[in-house]
Amino acid sequence: MDFDQIVTMCVHVLGCGFASKGQYLFGRVSMQIKLIPGDSAGTVTAFYMNSDTDTVRDKLDFEFLGNRSGQPYTVQTNVYAHGKGDREQRVNLWFDPAADFHTYSILWNHRHVVFSIDKIPIRVYKNNEARGIPYPKFQPMGVYSTLWEADDWATRGGLEKIDWSKAPFYAFMRSFELDGCMVPGPSTCPSNPANWWEGAAYQQLNPIEARRYRWVRMNHMIYDYCSDKSWYPLTPPECVAGI
């Protein structure tokens, strides 16, 4: 897939972005992004998949939260399944994402969803339907990237507001790739076990990926909804099941 297959959308002041022309069911999407340099507090750069259905939304979401100069950049991920979201996790990036391009990817198959940065997994959401936990597998999703104003929450819970004297704010995207089952398309594609993303190598993290995943979570995770007792007095069932 290339940029001839996406559409661009901009709204003055509020934000700008692009979307794929088609929707997809399972596969992998990736893009190289260079984030806003300097003081980007109050902005959010997002890269995500979304079913575009309000009450039963499925969504797989990277959100890069703007910061004051010199502070670590935070990426927030979220998973919506059958309309249920509020599954945020936040990781402080271990590099300067505004200095160069880095590759951000979402792998989505029947077994799990894996969010990765430069092939390093930062989040895994497993299919625990056998335990009655919703998993996004029925609704096709489009691919989106947006840059928008969110200074009511994005940086330090909304304490850091946008400094409009620093505007305009630019994030840069390139090398957009998407391989998946386009909908509408062959009805057998989403359930075809021969699709490469359903192969044995993609059913679980390999030992190197698992080690890198543990490293990210031990050293760079700063928020996990699974352990937020003020928001979830009872641990969410997917956290108990193991995500």
pLDDT at 55: 83
Domain ranges of the chain: 3-241
Contact 153, 44 (CB under 8 A): no
Cβ contacts of 46 within 8 Å, gap of 6 or more: 17, 61, 62, 63, 64, 144, 145, 146, 147, 148
- Measured over the CA atoms of residue 132, residue 137, residue 138 and residue 139, the dihedral's sign is positive
Q: What is the pLDDT along the chain (243 residues), one digit of tens a residue?
A: 444 444 444 444 457 889 999 999 999 999 999 999 999 999 999 999 999 888 899 999 999 999 988 888 999 999 999 999 999 999 999 999 999 999 999 999 999 999 999 999 999 999 999 999 999 999 999 999 999 998 988 888 888 899 999 988 999 999 999 999 999 999 999 999 999 999 999 999 999 999 999 999 999 999 999 999 999 999 999 998 776
Hey, what CATH topology would domain 3-241 get? Jelly Rolls (2.60.120)
Please state, in angstroms and as integers, the Cα–Cα distance from residue 145 to each residue in 28, 45, 210, following that order: 15, 7, 28
Which of 141, 120, 166 minimizes the C-alpha distance to 27? 141
- Measured over the CA atoms of residue 199, residue 205, residue 206 and residue 209, the dihedral's sign is positive
**DSSP one-letter code for 203:** S
Measured from the Cβ of residue 3, the count of other Cβ atoms closer than 10 Å reads: 12
pLDDT at 43: 94
Please state, in angstroms and as integers, the Cα–Cα distance from residue 29 to each residue in 42, 136, 166, 214, following that order: 26, 16, 31, 23
- Measured over the CA atoms of residue 170, residue 148, residue 179 and residue 217, the dihedral's sign is positive
Is residue 178 helix, strand or coil?
strand
